[in-house]
Amino acid sequence: MGADEYDSKLVADYTASSTRWPLVLAHGYALFDNSYQVLNTDNAFYVVNKWPAAYPPPLKKSQAFTGNPAGGPFAPDVCDVKNATNNPPRGPNVQGHLVALWND
């Protein structure tokens, strides 16, 4: 969203949003730990329409059932599918998870 594309009356709503990209810039666990409400869009299910080498098709559907490194299915609080210590406990600040679709 460009600076001239928002309703100035809603600026507080926009500034409360953060995009963590990549994990080293704003660790997901730190966001949960500091009482932010988080809608997780981690790249575990990231999809790129043009299918570049970094994110090859198809979507890893099996990861939905095995994507939690602590064992079990993927959940919205999973910020790292390889290291369970990077994932916060489930709690009320976890708003859910979205599959990100990059389309440019």
Q: What is d(CA 104, CA 101) in angstroms, rounded to the nearest whole number?
A: 10
Residue 48 lies in a domain: yes
Query: Which tops the pLDDT comparison, 5 or 33?
Result: 33
**Domain presence at residue 94:** yes
Q: Residues 40-92: pLDDT tens digits?
A: 877 777 777 776 677 766 777 888 888 899 999 999 888 888 888 888 888 88
Count of CB atoms situated within 10 Å of the CB of 40: 21
Number of independent structural domains in the chain: 1
Residue 15 lies in a domain: yes
* Cα dihedral 72→76→81→84 (10° resolution): -70
The answer to whether residue 1 is domain-embedded is: no
pTM of the complete model: 0.66
State which residues form the domain around 77.
Answer: 8-102
